[in-house]
Amino acid sequence: MSRLAELFDRTRGEGRAALVGYLPAGFPSVPGGVAAMRAMVDAGVDVLEVGLPYSDPLMDGPVIQRAAEIALAGRTTTHDVLATVEQVATSGAPTLVMTYWNPVERFGVDAFAAALAKAGGAGVITPDLVPDEAGPWLAAVDAAGVDPVFLVAPSSTPERIALVAAACRGFVYAASTMGVTGVREVVSVQAHDLVARVRAATTIPVCVGLGVSTGDQAAEVASYADGVIVGSAFVRCILEAPDEAAGVRAAAELAGELAEGVRRPARSG
- The boundaries of the domain holding residue 174 are 3-262
Catalytic residue status for 60? yes
Q: What secondary structure letter does DSSP report for 147?
A: E
What pTM value is reported for the model? 0.93
Backbone angles phi, psi at 54, to 5 degrees: -140, 145
Residues 96, 48: contact at Cβ < 8 Å?
yes
**Cβ-contact 11, 46 below 8 angstroms:** yes
Asked, for residue 267, whether it belongs to a domain, the answer is no
pLDDT value of position 187: 54
Tell me what pLDDT residue 182 has: 42
Is residue 115 domain-resident? yes
- Whether residue 22 lies inside any domain: the answer is yes
CB neighbour burial string for 38-48, b if at least 16 within 10 angstroms, e if fewer:
bbbbebbbbbb
Mutual angle of helices 30-42 and 232-239, in 10-degree steps: 120
Residue 183: per-residue pLDDT: 45
- Beta partners for residue 49, in sequence order: 22, 96
**Cα–Cα distance, 261 to 258 (Å, whole number):** 5
| DSSP category for residue 90 | T
Q: What is the CA radius of gyration of the chain?
A: 17
Return the pLDDT at 199. Answer: 96
The pLDDT value recorded for residue 178 is 42
Q: Considering its fold, how many domains does the chain have in total?
A: 1
Please check whether residue 268 lies inside any domain of the structure.
Answer: no
The better pLDDT of the pair 64, 189 is held by 64
Q: What is the pLDDT of residue 15?
A: 95
| Residue 177 domain-assigned (yes or no) | yes
Query: Does residue 269 lie within any of the structural domains?
Result: no
Residue 45 pLDDT: 98
In angstroms, the CA 97 to CA 58 distance is: 17
Mean pLDDT of the 171-195 span: 69
Alpha carbon distance 211, 228 (integer Å): 10
Give per-residue pLDDT as tens, 80-104.
999 999 999 999 999 999 999 999 9
Is the pLDDT assigned to residue 3 strictly greater than 70? yes
Mean pLDDT of all residues in 249-261: 98
CATH number, domain of 74, equals: 3.20.20.70
Closest by CA position to 170, among listed 144, 143, 147: 147
- Which of 49, 80, 147, 220 is labelled catalytic? 49
Decide if 79 is inside a domain: yes
Does residue 181 carry a pLDDT above 50? no
Residue 190 binned pLDDT confidence (cut-offs 50, 70, 90) = confident
pLDDT of residue 188: 53
Per residue in 16-71, pLDDT tens? 999 999 999 999 999 999 999 999 999 999 999 999 999 876 777 789 999 999 99
Catalytic option among 60, 147, 220, 226: 60
Q: How far apart are CA 104 and CA 149, in angstroms?
A: 14
Q: Is 240 a catalytic residue?
A: no
Q: State percent of the chain over pLDDT 90.
A: 87
Average pLDDT over residues 201-210: 94
